[in-house]
Amino acid sequence: MFWFIMAGMAAFAALAAIWPVLRSSPPSRDADPATSEPAFYTAQLDEIQRDVERGLLPQGEAASARAEAARRLISARSEAPKPALPPRARWRLAAAALIAVGVPVVALPLYAYLGRPQMPDEPLASRPPPSLASSNIEAAVAGVEAHLIAKPDDGKGWAVIAPVYMRLERYEDAARAYSEALRLLGEDGARRAAYGEALVAAAGGVVTDKAREAFMKALADEPGLPQARFYLALAAEQDGEKDDAIRDYESLIADASPDARWVDAVKKRLASLKGEPPPQADPEASAAAPEAQQAMIEGMVSRLANRLASNGGSVDEWERLIRAYTVLHEADKAKAALADARKALAPDQNAVASLDALAHDLGLGDAN
């Protein structure tokens, strides 16, 4: 059916374009209105006459204008129109054939290359309405989003959707949702910390000033909140204040209840910071205690890396990845990412310059 319509359209286009050729089987010699120039001056003379009759043009001016138009009329007439070549049917046939063959030959392959012929329309009305019960999480999110557009002041709605955004890796949306929830539902240490975490995730694992502020605020509200303390320690580490970071991590471990699931992650972090081999964690415990935060960051980074490797990305995204590896103390991977980024962005001088600057800043060695 679809290809039937396509063929019809192509045929229509070709026929419509060569219509004059089809219509004019006997090569008629229509008079060429190239003689319209004399006609134009004749009209101008009439116009002058009319203006005079209406009294819009004084006689004197009219006479000179008339003289000039007449002079030009004569010169235009004396220019004999070029004798037209006798039209040749061969050329017409060639043109018609060119169009008739050319249209499908150009259009079909080009469309096959660009188009998605098998893909149907999907107007919103014809699609199943997204429902919360649906197993499709995206549909559920769309439902909540629609609700929030209608009622942007529903703080609970924002609070519900924020962690979902987090799981969907829509970190910026998550940060926005958390901040809306905080604004509408009031201050809450845990939520403030979650907001900070979203900011960190959005920045590719870097604890930005804004995130740091959020964690501080969370701690002020709920002192001892481990999540916030962990990220503040991480911030110190990223700022190069190693001693502070070590102290913070240690105090965090000291304060933790021994069965807390995240302690191992912190210990590992601490060890790598001190340059020690990672602690031989009790294999049972480590299996039972996923290294929540660390794993989250690493997961994020690896997803970003995969995406950039398969789909490419902007210079900012590449830089985010390189930075993230540096933060995770994975210098080799950072260097590899830098090399990949250089390759991927090579045609863009600015991007390469920016990468060089970054490499220099991070001490990854200069170009090549």
Partner 1 sequence: MIVEIGHFALVLALCAALAQTIVPSLGARLGDPVLMGVGQSAALTQLALVTIAFAALVNAHLTSDFSVLNVAENSHSAVPTIYKISGIWGNHEGSMLLWLLILAIFGGLVALFGRSLPRALRANALAVQGLIGVAFLLFILLTSNPFERLDPAPFEGRDLNPVLQDPGLAVHPPMLYLGYVGFSIVYSFAAAALIEGRIDAAWARFVRPFALVAWSLLTLGIAAGSFWAYYTLGWGGFWFWDPVENASLMPWLAGTAFVHSVAVMEKRDALKVWTIFLAILAFSFSLLGTFLVRSGVLTSVHAFANDPRRGVFILAILAFFILGSFALFAWRAPVLKQGGLFAPVSREGALVLNNLLLTTACATVFFGTLYPLALEELTGEKITVGAPFFNATCGLLLLAAASVMPIGFSLAWKRGDLLGVIQRLTAAIAAGAVAAGAGAAWLRGGSIVAAIMAGVAIFVIVGSLIEVVVRAWRPGLAPGLALRRAFGLPLSFWGAALAHFGVGLTLLGLAGVGFGAETITTLHKGAPVEVGPYSVTLDSIGDRVGPNYRETVAAMTVRSGATVVAMIEPARRQFAARQMATTQAGLATIHFGQIYVSIADPTPDGDVPARLYWKPLVTLIWFGGATMALGGALSLADRRLRFGVAARARAGAVVAAAE
Partner 2 sequence: MTRRSRRLVLIAVALAVIGAAGGIALYALRDNIVFFYSPSEVAEKAVEPGARLRVGGLVKAGSVVKSQDQNVAFVVTDGAHDLKVAYQGLLPDLFREGQGVVAEGVLAAPGELRAETILAKHDERYMPREVVDALKKQGRWQEGEASAK
Question: For binding to partner 2 (CB under 8 A), which residues are involved?
Answer: 171-172, 175-176, 179, 198-199, 202-204, 206, 208-210, 213, 314, 316-317, 319-320, 323, 350, 354, 357-358, 360-361
- Give CA separation, 126 vs 1, 116, 121, 291, in Å: 21, 19, 9, 44
Picked from partner 1, partner 2, none, the partner binding residue 123 (CB below 5 to 8 A depending on kind) is partner 1
Q: Give the chain's length.
A: 368
Q: Which is nearer to partner 2, 37 or 317 (CB)?
A: 317
The listed partner (partner 2, partner 1, none) that binds 168, CB under 5 to 8 Å by sort, is none
**What is the sign of the dihedral through the CA atoms of 230, 232, 234 and 240?**
negative
**Min separation Cβ 283 and partner 1, Å:** 42
Least CB distance to partner 1 at residue 200 (A): 19
Exposure of 99 in the CB half-sphere (CA atoms within 13 A) = 18
Q: Which of the choices partner 1, partner 2, none does residue 85 contact, using the CB cut-off of 5 to 8 A by kind?
A: partner 1
Q: How many CB atoms lie within 10 A of CB 120?
A: 8
Which residues are CB-contacts of 52 (< 8 A; sequence separation ≥ 6)? 59, 62
Q: Which does 361 bind (CB under 5 to 8 A by kind): partner 2, partner 1, none?
A: partner 2
The residue type of 275 is G
**Closest separation in Å from C-beta 171 to partner 1:** 15
CB of 44 vs partner 1, minimal distance in Å: 8
Nearer to partner 1 by C-beta: 121 or 332?
A: 121
Pick what 196 binds: partner 1, partner 2, none; C-beta below 5 to 8 Å, kind-dependent. Answer: none
DSSP letter assigned to residue 261: T
Q: Contact 195/159 with Cβ under 8 angstroms?
A: no
Residue 124 near which of partner 2, partner 1, none (CB within 5-8 Å, type-dependent): partner 1
Question: Which is nearest to 328 in space by CA: 362, 292, 305, 301?
Answer: 301
The residue assigned the tokens 């209840």 is 257
Tokens encoding 130: 């997204």
Give the end-to-end CA distance of the chain in Å, rounded to a whole number: 56
Nearer to partner 1, 6 or 273 (CB): 6
CA 38 to chain centre: 59
363 interacts with, out of partner 1, partner 2, none, CB within 5 to 8 A per kind:
none
CA dist., res. 85 & res. 8, Å (int): 36
CA distance to 50, 76, 267, 272, 356, per residue, from 165 (Å): 78, 77, 29, 31, 34
- Classify each residue of 196-223 as buried b or exposed e, where b means 16 or more C-beta atoms within 10 Å of its C-beta: bbbbbbbbbbbbeeebbebbebbbebbe
CB of residue 128 vs partner 2: minimum separation in angstroms?
31
Given partner 2, partner 1, none, residue 149, with its beta carbon under 5 to 8 Å by kind, binds: partner 1
Question: Toward partner 1, which CB reaches closer, 148 or 339?
Answer: 148
CB of 14 to partner 2, least distance (A): 44
- Dihedral of alpha carbons 354, 355, 361, 367, sign: negative
Minimum CB separation of residue 205 from partner 2 in Å reads: 10
Q: Is the CB of 74 or the CB of 110 nearer to partner 1?
A: 110
Q: How far is the CB of 353 from partner 1 (least distance, A)?
A: 11
